[in-house]
């Protein structure tokens, strides 16, 4: 009985909200919509800015980024083994998925922090090795990102005729080595940022 009345009360609230929504002017609707998207944005930010789960000074966002990049590197390695076993279809799917995951994370989680915290020095001065490790990482990472995407597009037959190389092996090996090097130096970047430097960014 209690369950049914609770259900009816919920339904009533829902119907009242729809009624109010339809009776609002367009201007007010737009404002309400903007307000709700701001609330959603704040909730997402708050979720990612909680302390991370790896027990360092990193927030949840940096820990998730690290996990995703390690996952992409593992997938690249599985894809490499699949190619050695001549399972080319499975190899193509694995490498395309890993390259897409890698590209999304680089664009979403690395370009902006690099601009703000290295180029603009947003957080204040840090030890020299903080800048050198991150810059070496960013250069190898950018090369891996561009070259890796080119090889992935070629593997899927999506580049113009002139760029269609036939000798896959060296191209794919170089792309794989660059991705792995970027990931390894990325792990070092994580350690420098959130473990080694004396004044790490603390997120609460």
Residues that bind ligand HEM (CB under 6 A): 62, 65-66, 69, 102, 106, 110-111, 113-114, 134, 137-138, 141-142, 144-145, 179, 182-183, 186-187, 189-190, 193
Q: How far is the CB of 118 from ligand HEM (least distance, A)?
A: 6
DSSP secondary structure of 108-161: HHTHHHHIIIIIS-TT----HHHHHHHHHHHHHHHHHHHHHHHHHHHHTT-S-G
Between 91 and 102, CB nearer to ligand HEM: 102
Q: How far is the CB of 87 from ligand HEM (least distance, A)?
A: 24
The rounded distance, in Å, linking the Cα atoms of 106 and 103 is: 5
User: 123 is written with which tokens?
Assistant: 């957080």
Between 9 and 44, CB nearer to ligand HEM: 44
Q: How far is the CB of 15 from ligand HEM (least distance, A)?
A: 45
Here the contacts of 105-108 (C-beta below 8 Å, separation 24 or greater) are 105/65, 105/68, 105/69, 105/72, 106/141, 106/145
Q: How far is the CB of 143 from ligand HEM (least distance, A)?
A: 8
Between 141 and 155, CB nearer to ligand HEM: 141
Between 93 and 123, CB nearer to ligand HEM: 123
Q: How far is the CB of 52 from ligand HEM (least distance, A)?
A: 9
DSSP-derived 3-state class of residue 59 = strand
Q: Which residues contact 102 (CB under 8 A, 6 or more apart)?
A: 69, 72, 144, 145, 148, 179
Q: How far is the CB of 51 from ligand HEM (least distance, A)?
A: 14
Between 20 and 45, CB nearer to ligand HEM: 45
The rounded distance, in Å, linking the Cα atoms of 137 and 187 is: 10
What angle in degrees, to the nearest 10, is found between the helix axes of 88-109 and 168-191? 40
Between 15 and 70, CB nearer to ligand HEM: 70
């Amino acid at each position: 009985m209690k369950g049914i009345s609770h259900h009816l009360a919920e339904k009533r609230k829902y119907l009242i909200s729809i009624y109010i929504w339809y009776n609002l002017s367009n201007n007010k609707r737009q404002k309400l919509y903007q307000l709700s998207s701001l609330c959603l944005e704040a909730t997402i930010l708050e979720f990612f800015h909680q302390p991370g789960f790896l027990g360092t000074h990193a927030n949840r966002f940096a820990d998730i980024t690290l996990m995703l990049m390690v996952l992409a590197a593992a997938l690249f390695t599985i894809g490499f083994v699949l190619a050695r076993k001549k399972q080319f279809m499975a190899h193509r799917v694995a490498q395309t998925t890993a390259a897409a995951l890698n590209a999304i994370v680089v664009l979403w989680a690395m370009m902006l922090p690099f601009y703000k915290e290295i180029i603009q020095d947003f957080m204040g001065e840090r030890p020299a090795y903080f800048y050198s490790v991150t810059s070496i990482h960013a250069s190898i990472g950018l090369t891996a990102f561009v070259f890796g995407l080119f090889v992935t597009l070629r593997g899927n037959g999506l580049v113009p005729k002139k760029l269609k190389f036939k000798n896959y092996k060296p191209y794919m090996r170089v792309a794989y080595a660059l991705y792995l090097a970027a990931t390894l130096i990325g792990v070092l970047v994580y350690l420098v940022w959130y473990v080694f430097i004396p004044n790490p960014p603390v997120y609460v």
